[in-house]
Chains A and B, each alone.
Chain A
Amino acid sequence: MYRRQRHDERQPLLDVRHLWVEYEGFTALEDIDFRLRNGERVAVVGPNGAGKSTLFKAVAGLLSPARGEVRVYGARPDRHLCIGYVPQRSQVDWGFPVTVADVVMMGRLAEIGLFRWPRQRDRQIVHEALETVRLADLADRQISQLSGGQQQRMFIARALAQKATLMLMDEPLTGLDAPSRADIFRILDDLQARGVAVMIATHDLEQAAAAFDKVLLLNRRMLGFGPPAEVLQSDRLLEAYGGHLRMLPLEQVMVADTCCSGGQDHA
């Protein structure tokens, strides 16, 4: 338990090379190829079922590639402890009897080790992580008592306590109001300054265009990877989303909003 992969800092943080993933007998991802450096912030966009969660699982080393490979600091990802995973809020049992501090302490698990209990240093790190996301005064609350934005920040704090250098966030902005989103982006700016790379799955193309360095447009295949203005072109978006999208002109970029696509008939 808790074996750790050493980092080769000369290698790129994340290097995904011609990755194919099969999931339950289907080809879920085809020929994904991109690289990520420290402090980069990437929006992963695409319709429902495009393979965003599958891509995250493959990057985290939880699914093995059928072809190609994922490298984190030059080694396979499945021994790394530096990959912080932030779940979708809808996937969490909010009635679970744990406090905010308990959840953040889970980020220390590997560091604490088997058959040991948290030490003063771990509690200190948990406290600092909670301060960074401005939740320190809610540390002893049961997790269902948090607002949506606070819940999301709690999971970011857990990844901070884990000392993650790559964070994978599955739709962290969905269902949040504008002030809560702004809070999250302030924290993301902070992470960027610390050199943490972040991949965020999102439905909101407008936000992706405005607030991210890079966009990865996905629909089983990678339809684009690069600066938003380059990737979010109408022809590529049409390819990703098919006919099921509304288009809004935004500066020179065409932005689609398909929060709840996946149905066949609405277009």
Chain B
Amino acid sequence: MLEWLLQPLQYPFMVRGLAASVLVGVVCAVVGTYVVLRGMAFLGDALAHTILPGVAVGYLVHGGARGPLFWWALGTAVLSALGIGLISQNRRLREDTAIGIVFAGMFALGVALISTVRSYAVDLGHFLFGDVLGVSSQTLWLTAAFSALVLLLVFAFYKELLAVSFDRVFAATLRLPVRALDNLLLVLLAITVAISLQTVGVTLMVAMLVTPAATAYLLTRRLPVMMALAALFAALSAVGGLYLSYYWSIASGAAVVLLATLWFGVVFAWKRRSR
């Protein structure tokens, strides 16, 4: 058993992959708590998709080098997030309609750009489904630094984000800058999406944002506990998923998400039975 656990760890790529997916899982889970509570799941999914053209442009500019792509992903994600924030203030269109338009359009642009490159089938796959075992040590350090930044900001603005998420009008009567705090949350979501790109990819990202947080929501009615439990479920899914991937050659991103979904299913069934 011990050997079964230790054997994959002799490969540096496996250690880096584990570290990256646990970090990303924890950050996704903590930010995902707000995504679940504020009903932002569709927005998170859209944000993940809108970064594709940015990544594609970076890919073309740097001739296929993977290193700078993180910065392209981050830049595009932050711009998209603030753009979506602007759109949602426009009252002519419903917010989800506007997000749908921007997200599908941007995603199509990304696919179109990538398809101009000859070997696009392989590389598109990396963006869509992630490639956690290909995480370089440079990317790992960036992931760690930005994970720390996101968690620090969630902690520093805990009271304010809680108040704005729970009762906007009240927060406004306390003269909190409601719109700036909304934008802060969007930027945190954008950073989260950018650092998750290589681990879970565009298409499965929403699962990492929503599923562990939703599982935790079923188990507790305290926000700090919900964040901690969500992080725990995400970390367990990340580690378990990579072992599944190593021993049974399952795509790593999919394995992580399947495990997260499994936890949710188990908790959901258990809560229903005990009711």
Chain A interface (Cβ within 8 Å of chain B)? 1-3, 24, 57, 60-62, 78-79, 81, 83-85, 87, 92-93, 96-99, 102-103, 106, 109-110, 112, 114-115, 117, 142, 144, 158, 162
User: Is the CB of B223 closer than 8 A to any CB of chain A?
Assistant: yes
Query: Considering only CB atoms, which chain B residue lies closest to A77 in the complex?
Result: B173
Contact of A83 with B173 in the complex, beta carbons under 8 Å: yes
Kindly state the separation between the CA atoms of A106 and B170 in the bound complex, as whole angstroms.
Answer: 9
Q: How far is the CA of A85 from the CA of B220 in the complex (A)?
A: 28
Total interface residues on B, CB under 8 Å, equals: 25
B175 to chain A, nearest CB (A): 6
A81 to B156, CA, bound (A): 22
Complex CA distance for A99 and B169, rounded to whole angstroms: 19
Q: Quick one: closest A residue to B227, CB to CB?
A: A97
With A and B bound together, what is the CA distance between A230 and B175 in angstroms?
37
Q: Per DSSP, are chain B's interface residues mostly helix, strand or loop, or mixed?
A: helix
Q: Which residues of B contact A99 (CB under 8 A)?
A: 221-222
A81 smallest CB distance to B (angstroms) = 6
The docked-state distance in angstroms from the alpha carbon of A78 to that of B178 is 13
Interfacial residues of chain B within 157-214, with CB under 8 A of chain A in the complex: 159-160, 162-163, 165-167, 169-170, 172-177
Contact (A2, B174) CB under 8 Å given A97-B37, A97-B217, A109-B159: yes
**A109 touching B91 by the CB < 8 A rule?**
no
CB <8 Å contact, B167 and A1:
no
On whether the beta carbons of B170 and A62 are closer than 8 Å, the reply is no
Q: Is B51 an interface residue (CB 8 A)?
A: no
Determine the chain A residues whose CB is within 8 A of the CB of B225 once the complex forms.
97
The answer to whether B69 has its CB under 8 Å from any CB of chain A is no
Residues of A with C-beta under 8 A to B156 = 115
Q: Which residues of B contact A117 (CB under 8 A)?
A: 159
Given the interface contacts A112-B159, A114-B160, does A103 sit within 8 Å of B166 by beta carbon? yes
Measured CA separation A114–B184 after assembly (Å): 15
Given contacts A1-B177, A3-B175, A97 and B170 within 8 Å (CB-CB): no
**Is B256 positioned at the interface, with any CB of A under 8 Å from its CB?**
no
Given contacts A97-B220, A98-B166, contact A60 B159 (CB under 8 A): no
Chain B residues contacting A109 (CB-CB under 8 Å) are: 159-160, 163, 174, 176
B residues 200-259 near A (Cβ < 8 Å) are 217, 220-223, 225-226
With both chains docked as a complex, state the minimum distance between the C-beta of A163 and any C-beta of chain B, in angstroms. Answer: 12
A109 to B: closest C-beta gap in Å: 5
